[in-house]
Amino acid sequence: MQIPYTTTAANANKAVKALSLPGLRSIRGRRWRLYGAHINWLQILTMLIVGVVLLPIAYLVIRAVGAGEEGITYLLKERTLRIVWNSLTLVLSVTLSAAIIGVPFAWLTSRTNLPFRRVWLILGLLPMVIPSYLGAVTFIAAFGPKGMLQGLLEPLGVQRLPEIYGFFGAWVVLTLFTYPYVALTVRAALLQNDPALEEAARSMGLSRWKVFWRVTLPQLRPALAAGMLLTALYTLSDFGAVAMMRYNAFTRAIYLQYNSSFNRERAALLALVLVAVTIALLFLQRKLQNGKHNYRIGTGAKRQLKRVSLGKWKWPALGFCSVLVGLGVLVPMLVLFTWLTSRNLLDAVPVNMAELAANTVGVSALAALVVAIMAIPPSMLAVRSKSRFNHLLARLTHLSYVLPGIVVALALVFFAANAVPAIYQTLPLLILGYATRYLAYGVSATESALTQINPRIEEAARSMGLTPTQVARRITMPLARNGILAGAVLVCLHVMKELPTTLVLAPIGFKTFATRIWAMYEEAMLVNIAIPGLLLMGVAALLMTLMLWRDREIAT
């Protein structure tokens, strides 16, 4: 069985590659080929799409420049530096702890004789479909100073539990909901490992533990780096968990600045710094990863992997998996079900659940479709063109990886309110926001689908008299369809959970599961979160199952 979300793992590698600079360097070295060569429609479309991605950044720059000197003094204030520090420490801690949890989990579920491996794997990956804000709000309800756990412990004389708000809460929640990213990428690598290396090391007298450190782990480095990068990007851009845990990281500071002050320039400044930090992170990761190979150079096929027998370690391993699943899946579910069965306190804000569901699924599907279409020109350019300029152009779409939702939303609000009031507070603007934020996911999926098609087939079709458009329609697209669709489902899944973009860009009166959960959290009517929360998780889990299903189809 292949695992779902393989595209996520591929995305990470793409994100890493996206910012490698050989493309840029070569452009400086040679002339713009644009002047001599004709520009085809694919290039024009790609340029337009790149424009969409660059628009928010450009607009933020304009706004930030408007702040002038006052802006610079603001950025150099201790308060701003503290926000940078807060975000960086959170990213570092979450990434490390996600790796510490994710690697053994991946190993246990792929290379050992752990009982019910497949069940643990699926349960262990489920937290990925739970939005961080649901995780945070349920954790606060469960483990807050006077939360449900305290209620259970009350008879034992526990009057209150230690504070969960702040760094600790944000760290725990984000770790629990991001370790699957590490587990997925690492698991894929573990399954591809050549056991011969490990066996050779064992035969030369290394202990099992040493083999793991000196042979297995180095081989995992690229996968681990990719998973950790995904975790870091998620943590930097996450809004829900840090907002609810009241941890003053970038996203929360930007939202507060936007939502409680007249000074929008400062919000733009903070957003730009966040983008800069994200790009710096990608470069750093890229640098750390350079110059290592990790492929086998022997000839012949590699042997089947042998499962490690856990022996008496079976019980601690089962305990480890149970704790993970207990915290990451069971706690949120239990809290939501408790709310579902409790009396609706202060239910003064009725809502039409069917409308919420239609809105949520509708915009997600629409956004997925728009992304899938927008992804085609840059992917074709990247895969089928040999020109370096074209490659660089296509790669620029990957910049959308470094645009957190709150940044995209803020930029588009500024842009629409001032420049194009006609689309301000409309559905198209919301879709544009989603598309900007998630374009790179679509491009990655489409690119990898296209690279799997042998260009000879297309050439043969051309030689038999088909026009390029006919080739695209009759040969390329049918062959790439499944990959593109997988990317669309992934985008759909992400959009469904997206909070800050929806919160800021949604048309007046347009509510989704995500905004409803946020509103009920703000109103402290937590029991009202149960229904939208469970529905959202249900739909997300359904989509994940669909992706799983597809992969199984391929496998058989």
455 binds other proteins (CB under 8 A): no
Judged by DSSP in three states, 168 sits in helix
- Site residues for other proteins, window 471-510 (CB under 8 A)? 481-482, 485, 488-489, 508-509
535 binds other proteins (CB under 8 A): no
Select the residue interacting with other proteins from 40, 73, 261, 294 (CB under 8 A): 261
Closest CA to 414 of 354, 8, 406, 302: 406
Closest approach, Cβ 212 to other proteins, in A, equals 39
256 contacts 34 by C-beta, under 8 angstroms: no
Residue written as token pair 């890493």: 16
- Residue closer to other proteins by CB (options 251, 285) is 251
Angle in degrees, CA 412, 243, 492, rounded to 5: 55
Closest approach, Cβ 175 to other proteins, in A, equals 23
How many chain residues touch other proteins (CB under 8 A)?
54
Distances (CA, A) of 512 to 300, 394, 507, 532: 54, 33, 11, 9
513 contacts 356 by C-beta, under 8 angstroms: yes
Closest approach, Cβ 361 to other proteins, in A, equals 6
Angle in degrees, CA 342, 346, 352, rounded to 5: 85
- Residue closer to other proteins by CB (options 50, 242) is 242
- Residue closer to other proteins by CB (options 227, 433) is 433
Binding pattern for the stretch 365-394 against other proteins, x by CB under 8 A and - elsewhere:
xx-xx-------------------------
348 binds other proteins (CB under 8 A): yes
- Site residues for other proteins, window 135-154 (CB under 8 A)? 144-146
Query: How many other C-beta atoms lie within 10 A of the C-beta of residue 96?
Result: 13
Closest approach, Cβ 546 to other proteins, in A, equals 6
- Site residues for other proteins, window 412-431 (CB under 8 A)? 414, 417-418, 421, 424-425, 427
The set of residues, in sequence order, having a beta carbon less than 8 Å from that of 329 and lying 6+ positions away, is 123, 126, 127, 130
Judged by DSSP in three states, 112 sits in strand
Task: Annotate 113-136 with DSSP letters as a single string.
Answer: --TTHHHHHHHHHGGGGS-HHHHH
> How far is Cα 412 from Cα 526, in angstroms, rounded to an integer?
31
- Site residues for other proteins, window 28-87 (CB under 8 A)? 79, 82
User: Any idea what DSSP says for residue 185?
Assistant: H
Binding site for other proteins (CB under 8 A): 79, 82, 144-146, 160, 246, 248, 253, 256-264, 345-346, 348-349, 358, 361-363, 365-366, 368-369, 414, 417-418, 421, 424-425, 427, 481-482, 485, 488-489, 508-509, 519, 521-525, 546, 549-550, 553
